[in-house]
């Protein structure tokens, strides 16, 4: 009960900030259950003046601190959960916070790397960038008598405890929503928060970000247009990440790119093809490819930084992506529908023909437009919207892919407004299809299947033994019934009573909060 009250108190503060910033004014009333309609109307009475302008939700999340900032960034990748309009609002959310002091940063470095800062770095600048989880300094090291510039990323002190507290509130809301709402269960809100929690946990261990950069470096070592900064493992730990400093031109600096006479049409091609190559060929892609995280080096190669958010696609998802893209290009809508059913994304009780008809409604308008007007990201967005009508459960990896593609396409078209996305993507998609769905791919798939079959056969005696044990236990249960110990029955009763009391108290607290708001308003009047 105390835990429930604590959650409600913290969430009540968050609700007040949302109300003041006018967030409830952009919520679709159709998404609110009848019981919540009146509280939302009351919340709108305390909007501050000027709250109706600008990105309301972004302002509110920034006021609420690091965990809410990260929640907003994460939900920007989930229009299926928050709606398209709110997702667009969140896309403008900037993960920027005031930096913490130089002394604190140096203390974190010294403790984490177990050496004084002066022994690790020749120099260490004040922070050059600060976000919700970490900040970045420019440093200099000496190796073999040669000095090199490095980027030093330092985790914020005590940030883990703050995130754990706020994430527990998010889980509380998601669990209650799934308990009372079928739509929340379809959207799998608890799984959404779980996914975010795992993502944040990985971001707060900078060794994992270093490992992601290292893995991508291996994958792309032979790529003609892309590279990854080198990790300095000797100066990297849980709380500190040291990498090669990139002196290239950031892709958001169009003036410098113009001064350097960069071929922007070719640059747009590099951005699109690099992303698709990583997603399809490697199944491992940078999921935060905004222009500030991309540089053009002196050799004309793209260089990515900030590997805190990465996406993975298993072979099944890669095949799904390639086949639906090919299906839209060739106007084979039935095949696009069949791929969804084969992948298990759409429940089998639906009709393939009806689903193909819905796919046709997305695909046909494409063929009546000029190439530069066609957006692959928009196509995937519409596809994911249609699949909701056919009970397709949320696929976080596909949503992340789609949102990353939106960003990548936007970056590429900022350099070439007439970019033909299909022409640029065709070599990468076709190469993957020929390699994986052609004769060579089928032979390799057969060999892999034979290997799995052999592994299953060698495990057969163990499987049979376990099956016999389970059958014997079922026989005993059938004969004697399922018996619960008295202590178990008593514990179940105590748990249910506690849950009931917690819900009752929480409802009264919320009601009292809104009554207090009304009293305050009446006094102001």
Catalytic residues: 288
Q: Contact 141/121 with Cβ under 8 angstroms?
A: yes
Q: Shortest CA distance to 43 belongs to which of 55, 29, 53?
A: 29
Q: Contact 502/175 with Cβ under 8 angstroms?
A: no
The span from the first CA to the last CA of the chain, in angstroms, equals 37
Q: Contact 52/356 with Cβ under 8 angstroms?
A: no
How far apart are the C-alpha atoms of 288 and 407, rounded to whole Å?
Answer: 8
How far apart are the C-alpha atoms of 102 and 104, rounded to whole Å?
Answer: 5
Q: Shortest CA distance to 270 belongs to which of 313, 293, 302, 246?
A: 302
Our measurement of the distance from residue 223's CA atom to the centroid of its chain's CA atoms, rounded to an integer in Å, reads 26
CA R_g for the chain: 27
Total Cβ atoms within 10 A of residue 343: 16
Which SS3 state, helix, strand or coil, does residue 180 take? Answer: helix
How far apart are the C-alpha atoms of 148 and 354, rounded to whole Å?
Answer: 61
Task: Report the C-alpha dihedral over residues 62, 168, 195, 192, rounded to 10 degrees.
Answer: -80
Our measurement of the distance from residue 437's CA atom to the centroid of its chain's CA atoms, rounded to an integer in Å, reads 29
102 exposed, middle or buried (CB, 10 Å; 0-12, 13-18, 19+)? middle
Characterize 213-235 residue by residue with b for buried, 16 or more Cβ atoms within 10 angstroms of its Cβ, and e for exposed: beebeebbeebebbbbbebbeeb
Q: Contact 139/124 with Cβ under 8 angstroms?
A: yes
Task: Report the C-alpha dihedral over residues 437, 440, 444, 445, rounded to 10 degrees.
Answer: 20
How far apart are the C-alpha atoms of 75 and 329, rounded to whole Å?
Answer: 30
Q: Contact 425/409 with Cβ under 8 angstroms?
A: no
How far apart are the C-alpha atoms of 420 and 314, rounded to whole Å?
Answer: 28
Q: Shortest CA distance to 343 belongs to which of 311, 359, 320?
A: 320
Give the helix/strand (H/E) hosting 153: strand 146-155
Q: Contact 169/7 with Cβ under 8 angstroms?
A: yes
Exposure of 481 in the CB half-sphere (CA atoms within 13 A): 3
Q: Contact 319/437 with Cβ under 8 angstroms?
A: yes
Tokens 């951005």 belong to residue: 271
Tokens 């970056």 belong to residue: 411
């Amino acid at each position: 009960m105390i835990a429930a009250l604590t959650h409600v108190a913290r969430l009540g503060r968050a609700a007040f900030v949302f109300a003041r910033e006018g967030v409830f004014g952009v919520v679709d009333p159709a998404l609110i259950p009848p019981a919540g309609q009146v509280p939302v109307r009351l919340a709108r009475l305390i909007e501050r003046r000027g709250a109706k302008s600008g990105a309301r939700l972004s302002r509110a999340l920034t006021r609420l601190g690091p965990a809410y900032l990260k929640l907003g960034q994460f939900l920007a990748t989930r229009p299926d959960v928050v709606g398209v309009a709110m997702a667009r609002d969140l896309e403008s959310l900037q993960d920027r916070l005031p930096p913490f002091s130089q002394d604190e940063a140096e203390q974190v470095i010294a403790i984490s790397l177990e050496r004084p800062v002066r022994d690790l770095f020749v120099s260490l600048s004040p922070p050059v960038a600060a976000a919700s989880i970490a900040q970045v300094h420019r440093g200099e090291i000496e190796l073999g008598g040669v000095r090199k510039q490095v980027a030093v990323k330092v985790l914020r002190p005590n940030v883990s405890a703050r995130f754990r507290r706020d994430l527990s509130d998010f889980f509380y809301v998601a669990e209650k929503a799934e308990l009372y709402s079928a739509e929340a269960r379809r959207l799998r809100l608890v799984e959404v928060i779980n996914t975010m929690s795992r993502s944040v946990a990985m971001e707060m261990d900078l060794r994992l970000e270093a490992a992601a950069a290292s893995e991508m470096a291996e994958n792309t070592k032979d790529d003609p247009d892309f590279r990854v900064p080198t990790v300095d493992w000797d100066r990297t730990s849980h709380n500190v990440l040291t990498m090669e400093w990139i002196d290239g031109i950031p892709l958001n600096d169009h003036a410098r790119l113009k001064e350097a006479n960069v071929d922007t049409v070719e640059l747009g091609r590099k951005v699109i093809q690099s992303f698709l190559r990583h997603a399809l060929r490697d199944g491992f892609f940078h999921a935060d490819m905004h222009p500030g995280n991309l540089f053009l080096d002196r050799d004309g190669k793209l260089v990515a930084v900030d590997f805190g958010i990465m996406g993975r696609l298993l072979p099944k998802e890669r095949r799904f992506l390639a086949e639906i893209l090919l299906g839209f290009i060739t106007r084979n809508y039935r095949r696009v529908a069949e791929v969804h059913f084969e992948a298990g994304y759409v429940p089998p009780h639906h009709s393939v023909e009806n689903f193909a008809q819905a796919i046709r409604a997305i695909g046909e308008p494409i063929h009546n437009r000029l190439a530069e007007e066609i957006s692959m990201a928009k196509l995937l967005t519409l596809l994911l919207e249609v699949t909701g009508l056919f009970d397709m459960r949320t696929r976080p990896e596909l949503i992340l892919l789609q949102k990353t593609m939106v960003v990548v396409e936007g970056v590429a078209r900022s350099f070439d407004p007439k970019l033909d996305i299909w022409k640029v993507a065709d070599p990468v998609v076709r190469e993957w299809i020929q390699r994986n769905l052609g004769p060579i791919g089928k032979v390799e798939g057969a060999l892999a299947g034979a290997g799995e079959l052999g592994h299953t056969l060698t495990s057969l005696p163990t499987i049979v033994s376990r099956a016999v044990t389970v059958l014997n236990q079922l026989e005993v249960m059938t004969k004697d019934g399922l018996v619960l110990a008295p202590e178990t029955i008593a514990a179940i009763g105590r748990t249910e009573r506690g849950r009931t009391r917690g819900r009752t108290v929480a409802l009264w607290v919320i009601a009292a909060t809104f009554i207090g708001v009304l009293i305050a308003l009446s006094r102001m009047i």
